[in-house]
Amino acid sequence: MYTKHKWESDVYYHFNYVVNLPKDYDENQAYPLVVFLHGAGERGDDLDRVCCHGYMKHVREKGAEYPFIFVAPQCPENKYWGCYTESLLAFLEDICATLPVDRDRVYLTGLSMGGTGTWMLAMAAPERFAAIAPVCGSGIYWLGGALKNVPVLAYHGDCDEVVPVMDSVQMVKSVNRNGGHAELRILHGVGHDAWNVAYEGDELYTWLLSHTRKCE
């Protein structure tokens, strides 16, 4: 069952966040960590909104269990993840220091605004992540070379009228053009709600967990 928390800092933004632990959790064992960035519709101060989509929706509605520690911070109303890059990195460091996280198996994913946040946060600190999976987000494609050492699996609907699928196409091409390894799952006939496909089943998280951080 997931739990709700507040992260406080003397320097950085104080995130409310959700944690979901694996079944048979043992604090003496190191676990992979999946960090999830929600979309614009889940901003605010109600943590239940963070659990409306993706893996936490399956935890709440179906009692789903996953083999990783899941952490999802909440972005404040009318703000964007890009406003909090330094705070998110400090938050991540504290999570890794206080929970039994395998630092070589830290993953980042998010949808819509959180998909954009996934691209941006990973480009800001690529050395922190073993792999990322942005869903229907956009990035700064001319900076895609920052992710040349971070495996990427992106998802996007080809009928998306909110964030055009070409945003993901450009990002993936940029990463690969710079020597990286990025894949794009184009979901045919799917609109902006590509997350309903991306987070269904185990494909996405199995792909994430298959990667270990590369040392430069």
DSSP state of 66: -
Question: What radius of gyration do the chain's Cα atoms show?
Answer: 16
The tokens of 26 are what? 């043992």
Predicted local confidence at residue 167, as pLDDT = 98
Tell me the pairing of strands 182-187 and 152-157: parallel
CA distance 47 to 12: 19
- CA distances 100 to 26, 136, 205, Å, are 9, 30, 19
- The CATH architecture assigned to 3-134+195-209 reads 3-Layer(aba) Sandwich (3.40)
Asked if residues 166 and 130 have their Cβ atoms less than 8 Å apart, the reply is no
- CA distances 35 to 159, 166, 189, 213, Å, are 27, 25, 28, 15
Asked if residues 88 and 79 have their Cβ atoms less than 8 Å apart, the reply is no
Q: Which of 209, 212, 162, 207 is nearest to 183 (CA)?
A: 207
**pTM score, whole prediction:** 0.96
Series of mean pLDDT values for 10-residue runs along the chain (216 residues): 90 95 94 98 95 93 94 96 97 97 98 98 98 97 96 98 98 98 98 97 97 81
Predicted local confidence at residue 70, as pLDDT = 98
Predicted local confidence at residue 185, as pLDDT = 98
